[in-house]
């Protein structure tokens, strides 16, 4: 860079003032070092006043792009003598104090004693040499305690018996977001714990058809019959079963049941919190809102399931409207914003999709004529009133059982 016309501090100030928006950068390190060296010599940096030095530093910082701390180190070197880039020389001929044989002795000691801490291991190797006179430890017993951990990370050591825990893919379910093809039958499932009872909540992704079952605890004895009831309650054919990666659903018992029914099992991906977001949202807006957070006695499980199957599940699917996405907008950052422009019941949504696709999706023996009788026998408010009455009776029984216990 040719800046020989800038000979005074005032000219430097004018240049900085007039080039605030201008970005000037030198390319190579050699050019930056030469520029700093010439500028320091031309303006006799060492004899300048403090304010003048500050101006030179701002000027050098703008041209070279260096940070303050690094620039001051380079200016000090240029003031003392010529500023030249120091050549980097890699050390290739270094002396290795501890050989692979010594590392193998350390490895053998760790294997025999199940890898004690570094202090205990150091004491064992000292005793091997000084107390028991095993000459092979004459080098490694001098090792410092801190360096033992360094050798344990070496390639010679880790290539043998000590290996870190490796992630293992459980061969149950397919990791990924399920593909629905806009067809009902892909359900999301999750559990909601309420101390002595557990609610199994499932939601169809397309119609938001929801079935809830209660079990006293998550175990093979209760889970398998509950899942059979849950799958049977859906009026349409289920082809996909999606859950998070919890062991209550990712196990061989559930996998065998789904495989027998020809239902594809998928599980949520890591760091994709929205994979199971639909059912998790229903956990709060439906289960917790209606069943609360307080303790429920285990003796009420059968009565809760009677309430769910005969009242609560029909209410959710035939009389409680849900919001459906009609449009997805993206902002200038690419973030999606979903517009919920349609509110209808899951049953009406099922009929709408069946009409659009010209396909019923219903199980053999089911028909919309039969389901219409359930859906339109009572109005939404009339059926909701009945649900609230049964709900209150259920919780009065719960209070009775608490008082009895």
Long-range Cβ pairs for the range 331-335 (8 Å, 24+): none
Structure token pair of residue 10: 């005032």
Residues 308, 315: Cα–Cα separation, whole Å: 9
Rounded CA separation 163/157 (Å): 10
| DSSP H or E run through 122 | helix 118-130
Give the pLDDT score at 21.
Answer: 67
The rounded distance, in Å, linking the Cα atoms of 188 and 286 is 15
Question: Residue 202's closest CA among 180, 234, 225?
Answer: 234
Contact 197, 215 (CB under 8 A): yes
What's the confidence (pLDDT) of residue 402?
Answer: 59
Q: Are 375 and 316 in contact (CB under 8 A)?
A: no
Q: What pLDDT shows up at residue 282? A: 93
Q: In terms of DSSP bridges, do strands 197-204 and 186-194 run parallel, antiparallel, or are they unpaired?
A: antiparallel
Tokens of 95: 């002396």
pLDDT at 87: 76
pLDDT at 166: 57
Beta carbons of 330 and 339 less than 8 angstroms apart: no
List the structure tokens of 101.
């044989």
Q: What integer pLDDT is reported at residue 167 of this predicted model? A: 59
Question: Which portions of the chain are predicted below pLDDT 70?
Answer: 1-4, 21, 24, 88-95, 159-170, 400-405
The domain ranges of the chain are 9-80, 100-158, 182-404
- Position 346 scores a pLDDT of 94
Handedness of CA 160, 161, 164, 169 (dihedral sign): positive
Handedness of CA 46, 50, 54, 55 (dihedral sign): negative
* CATH code of the domain occupying 182-404: 3.30.420.10
Contact indicator for 242, 368 with CB cutoff of 8 Å: no
CB 390 within 8 A of CB 382: no
CB–CB of 227/212 below 8 Å?
Answer: no
3-state secondary structure of 240: strand
Q: What does DSSP assign to residue 141? A: G
């Amino acid at each position: 860079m040719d800046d020989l016309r800038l000979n005074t501090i005032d000219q430097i100030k004018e240049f900085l003032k007039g080039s605030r928006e201008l970005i000037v950068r030198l390319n190579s390190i050699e050019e930056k070092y030469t520029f700093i060296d010439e500028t320091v010599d031309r303006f006799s940096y060492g004899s300048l006043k403090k304010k003048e030095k500050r101006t030179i530093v701002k000027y050098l910082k703008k041209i070279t792009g260096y940070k303050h701390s690094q620039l001051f180190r380079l200016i000090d070197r240029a003031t003392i003598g010529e500023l030249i880039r120091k050549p980097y020389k890699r050390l290739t001929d270094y002396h290795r104090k501890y050989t692979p044989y010594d590392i193998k002795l350390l490895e053998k000691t760790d294997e025999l004693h199940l890898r004690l801490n570094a202090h205990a291991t150091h004491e064992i190797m000292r005793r091997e040499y000084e107390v028991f006179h095993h000459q092979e430890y004459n080098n490694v017993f001098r090792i410092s305690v801190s360096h033992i951990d360094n050798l344990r990370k070496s390639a010679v050591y880790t290539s043998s018996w000590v290996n870190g825990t490796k992630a293992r893919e459980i061969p149950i379910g397919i990791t990924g977001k399920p593909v629905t093809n806009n067809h009902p039958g892909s359900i999301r499932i999750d559990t909601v714990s309420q101390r002595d009872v557990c609610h199994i909540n499932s939601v169809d992704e397309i119609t938001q058809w929801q079935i809830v079952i209660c079990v006293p605890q998550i175990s093979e004895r209760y889970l398998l019959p509950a899942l059979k009831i849950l799958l049977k309650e859906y009026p349409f054919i289920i082809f996909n079963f999606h859950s998070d990666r919890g062991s209550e659903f990712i196990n061989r018992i559930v996998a065998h049941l789904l495989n027998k029914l020809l239902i594809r099992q998928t599980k949520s991906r890591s760091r994709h919190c929205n994979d199971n977001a639909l059912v998790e949202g229903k956990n709060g807006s439906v289960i917790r809102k209606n069943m609360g957070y307080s303790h429920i006695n285990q003796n009420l499980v059968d009565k809760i399931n009677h309430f769910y199957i005969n009242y609560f599940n029909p209410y959710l699917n035939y009389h409680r409207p849900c919001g459906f996405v009609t449009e997805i907008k993206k902002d200038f950052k690419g973030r999606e914003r979903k517009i919920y422009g349609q509110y209808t019941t899951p049953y009406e949504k099922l009929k709408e999709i069946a009409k659009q696709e010209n396909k019923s999706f219903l199980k053999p023996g089911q028909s919309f004529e039969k389901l219409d009788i359930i859906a339109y026998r009572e109005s939404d408010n009339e059926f909701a009133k009945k649900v609230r009455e049964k709900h209150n009776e259920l919780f009065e029984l719960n209070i009775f059982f608490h008082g009895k216990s």
